[in-house]
Structure 1
Amino acid sequence: MPRPREEFDDIRDFEFYDPEEVLEPDQLYTVYEIARLLQGVEPDRDLDPGTEDILLNWAIPWMLDHSESFVFAEPAADDEPGYYGLA
């Protein structure tokens, strides 16, 4: 349900980072780690599943929008996530 603007104390510009601003060039990350980094959270921090799902909802479209900036490495096992880094 929409809410009136005046109900909000903090309205900010909608900004996304470029991959080079978030990732280190010599590292590969899981999508979960990238999702955390995009929100300023340490990549190894434990999060509850609901919060992690919300972060992934932001990270995956961001990665698709910047797909030309990424390389992919296969996961070590079928039940593990792949790794992504800067192209």
Structure 2
Amino acid sequence: MPRPRDSFDDLRPLAFREPDEVLDADQLYTVYEVARLLQGVPLDQELDVETENVLLDWAIPWLVYNQEQFVFAEPEHDSQPGYYGLRREE
């Protein structure tokens, strides 16, 4: 349900970070790990499924929007997620 603008004390600009500000260039990450890093959540922190899904709702469009800056590696098994990393200028 919408809320009146003046019911909020803190309004901030919506700004997404650049991929190189989030990811280490020498690492590849699953989409779940990317989602956590985008929100500053430690990779080993336990999360409930609902929270994990909300984080993914932010991460997937961010990956798609910045797709030209990423490389993709296939998972070891079909039941696992793939890995994403920063594209390097070789």
Q: TM-score, normalised by structure 1?
A: 0.96
Structure 1 runs (4+) deviating above 2 angstroms are none
- Code of the aligned partner of 1:33: E
For the residue of structure 1 that corresponds to 2:14, the secondary structure is coil
Deviates more, 1:43-52 or 1:20-29: 43-52
Q: Which residue of 2 aligns with 1:5?
A: 5
- Shift of residue 63 of structure 1? 0.3
Q: Which residue of 2 aligns with 1:28?
A: 28
- Shift of residue 84 of structure 1? 0.4
Q: Which residue of 2 aligns with 1:70?
A: 70
- Shift of residue 36 of structure 1? 0.4
Name stretches of at least 5 consecutive residues in structure 2 with no aligned partner.
none
C-alpha separation in 2, matches of 1:48 and 1:69: 30
C-alpha separation in 2, matches of 1:44 and 1:75: 20
Q: Which residue of 1 aligns with 2:19?
A: 19
C-alpha separation in 2, matches of 1:71 and 1:45: 26
* Number of equivalences: 87
Q: Which residue of 1 aligns with 2:45?
A: 45
Q: Which residue of 2 aligns with 1:80?
A: 80
Q: TM-score, normalised by structure 2?
A: 0.93
- Over the residues paired in the alignment, what is the CA RMSD in angstroms? 0.7
- Code of the aligned partner of 2:52: E
